[in-house]
Amino acid sequence: MANIDSVKLPNGNEYNLQDVVTPRDFTNPNLLINPWFTVNQRGSASYTPNNSYTVDNWKGTFSSGFTVAVNSDGIKVTNTAASGRRILTQIMEFGSLIEGKTVTGSILLKDGTILKGSVVASDTRGTDVKVFDFGVNSELRLTHGANDDYQWFSIVVGNGESFDIRAVKLEIGSTSTLHLDTAPDYTTELLKCRRYFYRINGDVQYLPMVNVSTEATLARGIVTFPTEMISAPNIASGGSMVISAVGTSYVIDSISLSNASKQIANVRFYATGLTAGQYGIIMAMQAGAYLEFDTGL
């Protein structure tokens, strides 16, 4: 059978297939959340993590000598500890899906260099597998957690080393396709991150909730989450806030969580001088005020 090199349409136009059909490169899905480090709900420009989170979904697991600086095109991780390596890790909620499969991890550095390697993901709890080495004493690591559902994807930074990282990727298969990727849509990525952590900032001035005081020192508010969280969260707060009710402002002394589900939280606001039955809104008195809802994962 002869090769077909051209096609003629009913209108008489003839096209060379080599001109209209060209090979395309396809990229694999990235199994990581916030892989370009663009979502930073906590808002700091630099983190010194103490077994705590930095940019969304990335946790620093050591208490000293480690900084994660946030910039417009990624992060800079630096290990200044006197000894030992430091780790920036993401806990993958559906890590069981890659057990026993070949996966490829990649790091895009700020200068355009892509570091990459492939490995078979472990199906044994508590097992580390090295994806590849880089730098002098750094590595990309994949760890099967104690729970069958979780895998840890970790950037392990050697003592005295520093890296400007633009993006990272974990994908199924033995080929890296990070070079074909662009930064994901911010709004979509933010919604993914808010399944784990949701922060309401006081710089919007009025926090979006309606409250009714039930006694002289207590008001209650309902917060509806923008997406279903992976579990009922804990609450944290900071900055100065007041309850504004019937033209009068009452300084909030403390905040606690009455109860929460994956969709909503019932929050207690304690302030002196309230009258039972009052309605009002919570107003942040300074730009740094915030409420945080954290699932801890």
Three-state secondary structure readout of the chain:
CCCCCEEECCCCCEEEHHHHCCCCCCCCCCCCCCCCCCCCCCCCCEECCCCEECCCCCEECCCCCEEEEEECCEEEEEECCCCCCEEEEEEECCHHHHCCCEEEEEEEECCCCEEEEEEECCCCCCCEEEEEEECCCEEEEEEECCCCCCEEEEEEECCCCEEEEEEEEEEECCCCCHHHCCCCCHHHHHHHHCCCEEEEEHHHCEEEEEEEEEECCEEEEEEECCCCCCCCCEEEEECCEEEEECCEEEEEEEEEEEEECCCEEEEEEEECCCCCCCEEEEEECCCCCEEEEECCC
Cα–Cα distance between 53 and 64 in angstroms, integer? 14
Select the more confidently predicted residue: 149 or 246.
Answer: 149
Per-residue pLDDT of 239-287, as tens digits, reads 888 887 777 788 888 999 989 999 999 988 888 887 777 777 776 666 7
- 297 pLDDT higher than 90: no
Q: For residues 56 and 85, give the distance between their C-alpha atoms in angstroms, rounded to a whole number.
A: 22
pLDDT, one tens digit per residue, over 150-173 is 899 999 999 999 999 999 999 999
Choose between 247 and 187: higher pLDDT. Answer: 187
Q: How far apart are CA 66 and CA 77, in angstroms?
A: 7
Is 50 exceeded by the pLDDT of residue 22? no
User: Which option is the CATH number for 197-294: 2.40.128, 3.40.50, 2.60.40, 1.10.3470?
Assistant: 2.60.40
Q: What mean pLDDT is reported for the chain?
A: 86
Placement of tokens 């430091």 in the chain: 86
What's the token pair of residue 51? 């077994």
- Cα separation, 218 vs 271, in Å, equals 6
Query: Residues 6 or more apart from 75 whose CB is under 8 A from it?
Result: 37, 54, 55, 58, 68, 69, 164, 165
Looking at the chain, the whole-number percentage of residues with pLDDT higher than 90 is: 55
- Give me the pLDDT at residue 123, please: 86
Q: What pLDDT is recorded for position 13?
A: 66
pLDDT in tens, 60-94: 987 689 999 999 999 999 999 988 999 999 999 88
289 near 242, Cβ under 8 Å?
no
| Predicted confidence (pLDDT) per residue in 196-214, tens digit | 999 988 765 565 455 666 6
For CATH 2.60.40, list the domain ranges present in the chain. Answer: 197-294
167-185 pLDDT, tens per residue? 999 999 999 999 999 999 9
pTM of the predicted structure, to 2 decimals = 0.85
Is the pLDDT at 5 greater than 90, yes or no? Answer: no
The tokens for 98 are 């890659």
Distance CA 215, CA 223 (A): 20
- Average pLDDT rounded to a whole number, residues 219-228: 88
Q: Which residues contact 179 (CB under 8 A, 6 or more apart)?
A: 108, 114
pLDDT score at 21: 42
